Structure 1
């Protein structure tokens, strides 16, 4: 299926590959919505669909576990067991919240087993805005060629990740593994 709304989109080729590889699917109306924000639950599903892990995940014990859709529970559990995700200090996972670019980087770096110095300058013009807990991940992914930032060399660390960005980073990750 080639979604009806990706023609001439910057990520068109990557989106088509991600759909063919079973990482993500489009919507019933034949759209993909490439600029729609991805939630934390959706990203966990996309990431685990890309990695195709075997076996059960960890037991979920998030305070908001009931908010994790049935369609996402196994992927979240597998990502938790693998150590790619964690919840917030208040014990929640917040599956329906948009995933930030820094959270995405942290999950991808974990999946790639990348470690980097969190004090290293990333080279992005908004480097000072990247939270210390995610700076090492952003730096490592940039060094690995998995993320590149925006046209004006910004990473936009607190910005939400779009569906197009999510599949692009996952495909980049898989190409580097």
Structure 2
């Protein structure tokens, strides 16, 4: 059966391409076919494992567990009802707010259930999973044909949901042409389905963020005016101990930019490489930069690791900031992603073709590309390897505007992409 599960999605590599590596994996999925999917959902806090470090990929997922994961994946705000909708869903149980939220969103329709019993701890079937997925996206085909050889086994009122889920690649059948509607779904199968579901939500959209590291004066002098002309915000990742030093922006300038919609974020206090520091020193870098930003009245909610940080996210960052941006070369974020390992795309005097290609991919995948550079040269001057010039920035913004892509700060991007 395991080899059949790959038909749920065409390829794991499709979803791993262009994304940062995953931080957490469980002790029983190292060689499992769904390892990539499980890692993505775990990093995005959609699913979790067990206290012993296991995920138990071949256990069936319950109806309550699936609904919780779907609600989180869809970023539905929790809306627990004052009184339980179902007789077997206790208001004090962990799954209560998720099930009630799904009811409020029209994913679960109470009249479908005999004697008002939802059976939250029972295994979810393939037909119910497809129905919930389709309803949550507002999908239902006006069709009695499911596209599967055993479609006659599916009640007529559910066939449109099955067809809609199939046509969008959310859930597929088996090599013999059957759907097997009443089969339970395992935790690994659910992981694969939910990654596809999250990806489906974002297709045809996209977000762009432009950020600058080290608060260099050229950003204020040469980039700020270009941003204002296009109405696009930016993000300054600042090393707090050197703000206002020679060649850098002042607090007054940073505040002026925030007044125009920009965000100020931390790039640590002294820009030291975390891999060379002890825990107490990392904490010092995080705490001092956070405190300084607060004292200056600057945003200070997000963080970028110093240097080309490419290992597992540092757990201490989560105590101080809402995200941690890495310094990868040329990558974008595609949901689900780990907010403490945000990929960034290094702008190094890119060609027009490179800019067009990454924006096209961002839109096609419903991704979030976080461009970053250091300084901005005037006009068409030839920049160094860590910089761009004004002409390139204008070209980038023209291509963004042509595709009608939303430009956001990191704070806004997290809200839109991860519900944070």
Q: TM-score, normalised by structure 2?
A: 0.40
* Distance of aligned partners of 1:46 and 1:55 in 2 relative to their CA distance in 1, 3 Å threshold: closer
Which residue of structure 2 aligns with residue 30 of structure 1? Answer: 53
Could you tell me how far 1:167 is from its partner in structure 2? 1.9
Question: What corresponds to 1:14 in structure 2?
Answer: 37
1:41-91 CA distances to partner (integer Å, 9 max, x unpaired)? 11111111212222423442212223x762111111111100101341221
User: What number of residue pairs does the alignment pair up?
Assistant: 175
Judge conservation of contact 2:165–2:171 (CA < 8 Å) in 1: yes
1:10-159 to 2 correspondences below 5 Å: 10-59=33-82, 60-66=84-90, 70-87=93-110, 88-119=113-144, 121-159=145-183
Taking a change above 3 Å as real, the CA distance of residues 127 and 110 of structure 1, as seen in their structure-2 partners, is same
Structure 1: distance between partners of 2:181 and 2:175? 15
Q: Which has the larger strand fraction?
A: 2
Superimposed CA distance per residue, residues 4-31 of structure 1 (whole angstroms, 9 cap, x where no aligned partner): 1112322111111010111100111111
State the distance in 2 between where 1:112 and 1:11 align: 24
| Cα distance change of structure 1 residues 132 and 52 upon mapping to structure 2, 3 Å threshold | same
SS in structure 1 of the partner of residue 95 of structure 2: helix
2:146–2:162 Cα contact (<8 Å) kept = yes
Task: State the superposition RMSD in angstroms.
Answer: 1.7
Task: Pick the aligned partner of 1:165 from 186, 189, 198.
Answer: 189
CA distance in 2 between partners of 1:124 and 1:166 (Å):
20
State the distance in 2 between where 1:69 and 1:110 align: 26
Of structures 1 and 2, the one scoring higher in RCO (CA 8 A, sep 6+) is 1
Unaligned runs of 5+ in 2: 1-23, 202-420
Q: Provide the C-alpha distance between the structure 2 equivalents of 1:113 and 1:44, rounded to a whole number of angstroms.
A: 16
d(CA) in 1 for partners of 2:119 and 2:138? Answer: 24
Which structure has the larger Rg over C-alpha atoms?
2
Normalised to the residue count of structure 1, the TM-score between the two structures is 0.91
